[in-house]
Structure 1
């Protein structure tokens, strides 16, 4: 910050360029499947949202979208809450964010391990704990909110590991890249929706955005809990998945 407020953005851009270069070097180049056609035509016809033709993946999209909206509301507006409630400056917000990310990173080292509990039931409990942290910020004082912001990193890390690991195992026939792409696209859409909705609500009170986010995360937790009692059928291999999609 002493070198200028734009420097962190240049560093972030440099890190992304480096990541792109390393990925281009490391990933093996493969021909586009399915014969001819332009790159744009394949992207248009085979994007991640085509998976929503399958009922189980529509359900996954719905519950993850609700949870992602809650997380987006939290991520995008807890810094504004710190400004409104605690009169925090840029450095203070950065330190709070660092504490949350540090706990999230440490939790990710242990998250996703095998468990005897059904994954969707575990994800439901983790989403509920994340929702409680978001609501604690929305309803709590500055002290309670600071603790809740940092602790949010714990259930969120476990939720991400649980739901992504389960989706990778359950829907492998549809393509691991496609399923992970669907989850990432869902989070991007949630960020757009909550930025628009939250921008309007924050004119009234930033806490309203956080409360709405917490309620959306609770909705996702309840939906996951109900869904955990139902069997999910997926094609055993990619060929049958493609045949089902054509039908």
Structure 2
């Protein structure tokens, strides 16, 4: 008797079940990224107008210039992410992605509450500490991205990664919009709202995300080793990884020069309000979402990961460098184009890195990507705030220069395996 058709049917059903579970997992990951990104982005439309236009103990701490204080607040969050993401990605491979994700979501929400209390008390140091602690636990986005990568080959890696990116962009769209609308109720309300949204993400993880197999046993790797041999920085002992991440650092320094100082530039140049910053950020992120969902995968097929990522870097640099020439009417279409360029870069370069180093534990690798991005954010918050003393456009132009250098280095030094 021939059992081949029956076995084929069983295998087909198993494949469909696995694919269905993979889609549920992806949905859960997307919700985590959505609400985590929204929570991160919520305060940004308010911070620049607050520090540039208002006088309070928060904005006059130690008699420092308000732009320097803003730079410090902008830097403390990604400084926390550097520490958190370098360890959390590896920890998720040791103790299970779901367990670590649940714990960090709860602690991130509590950290937002601490930020709100610091604002109510008008305590600059407490706000800086709270933003740092929030960043430590918000490094869990690297876990979410690692889960998305883990779904390959059940789901296409470029497809899943860009859906997760698109969800992150949606968070960056809804966050500033909600922040701008909530601005009239105070920054503390914004932080309380951010904490509340994370509990929706927590429910999705508890409901849809399966408990995963551990990459290693807890007996093999002690907790303290996460801070030594198993943290994401340990990957930099490989000279080839070190080279690609030096390029990624340069590129993300350039991107963060824009991310962190375009609100300051908009306030300086066009006197944008918190609501107006929220609206133009909505435009920016709508183009990022559209590009990520509908264009990036096609660009990968047409150009390949390497050439596509190079295109994204060059396009960003060109659009950043023309900022001094922009008017109140041209700023809107240019920011739409910037959204396209950012989505191309974010959608292709991390996938290129993942493909080139597929043999490395992806939680650790995604942790390094998040860590390097956050390191760039810290550096640029401090360097950019100094440049912004002469005009915020100088920080953005400096970012364009770094992107040009990164694109040239990437184009000539990297050779794809595929």
The TM-score with structure 1 as length reference comes to 0.84
Tell me the secondary structure at the aligned position of residue 51 of structure 1: helix
More contact order relative to length (CA 8 Å, sep ≥ 6): 1
Whether contact under 8 Å (2:257, 2:395) holds in the other structure is yes
| Equivalent residue in structure 1 for 2:383, among 197, 203, 206 | 197
Gap change, CA 1:38 and 1:18, over 3 Å in 2 = farther
Tell me the secondary structure at the aligned position of residue 301 of structure 2: coil
Shift of 1:41: 2.6
Tell me which residue corresponds to 2:283: 99
Distance in 2 between the 1:105 and 1:231 partners? Answer: 27
Tell me the secondary structure at the aligned position of residue 143 of structure 1: coil
Tell me which residue corresponds to 2:197: 15
Tell me the secondary structure at the aligned position of residue 130 of structure 1: helix
Provide the aligned C-alpha RMSD in A: 2.3
Whether contact under 8 Å (1:120, 1:225) holds in the other structure is yes
| Equivalent residue in structure 1 for 2:252, among 59, 62, 68 | 68
Distance in 1 between the 2:320 and 2:206 partners? Answer: 38
Tell me which residue corresponds to 1:242: none
Matched, 1:89 2:273: yes
Tell me the secondary structure at the aligned position of residue 330 of structure 2: helix
Whether contact under 8 Å (1:67, 1:216) holds in the other structure is yes
Gap change, CA 1:17 and 1:213, over 3 Å in 2 = farther
Matched, 1:77 2:261: yes
Tell me which residue corresponds to 1:5: 186
Tell me which residue corresponds to 2:349: 163
Tell me which residue corresponds to 2:216: 33
> Unpaired segments of 5 or more residues in structure 2?
1-181
Distance in 1 between the 2:379 and 2:183 partners? Answer: 34
Tell me the secondary structure at the aligned position of residue 211 of structure 2: coil
Tell me which residue corresponds to 1:56: 240
Distance in 1 between the 2:302 and 2:337 partners? Answer: 25
Whether contact under 8 Å (1:138, 1:210) holds in the other structure is no
Which segments of structure 1 move beyond 6 Å, counting only runs of 4 or more?
A: none
Shift of 1:126: 1.1
Distance in 2 between the 1:59 and 1:11 partners? Answer: 40
Count of paired positions: 232
Tell me the secondary structure at the aligned position of residue 343 of structure 2: helix
Gap change, CA 1:32 and 1:163, over 3 Å in 2 = closer
Matched, 1:180 2:363: no
Deviations 1:170-195 (A, max 9, x none): 21101222221111111000000000
Gap change, CA 1:211 and 1:55, over 3 Å in 2 = same
Shift of 1:116: 4.6
| Equivalent residue in structure 1 for 2:326, among 117, 124, 140 | 140
Whether contact under 8 Å (1:137, 1:144) holds in the other structure is no
Distance in 1 between the 2:206 and 2:382 partners? Answer: 34
Matched, 1:45 2:229: yes
> Unpaired segments of 5 or more residues in structure 1?
234-247
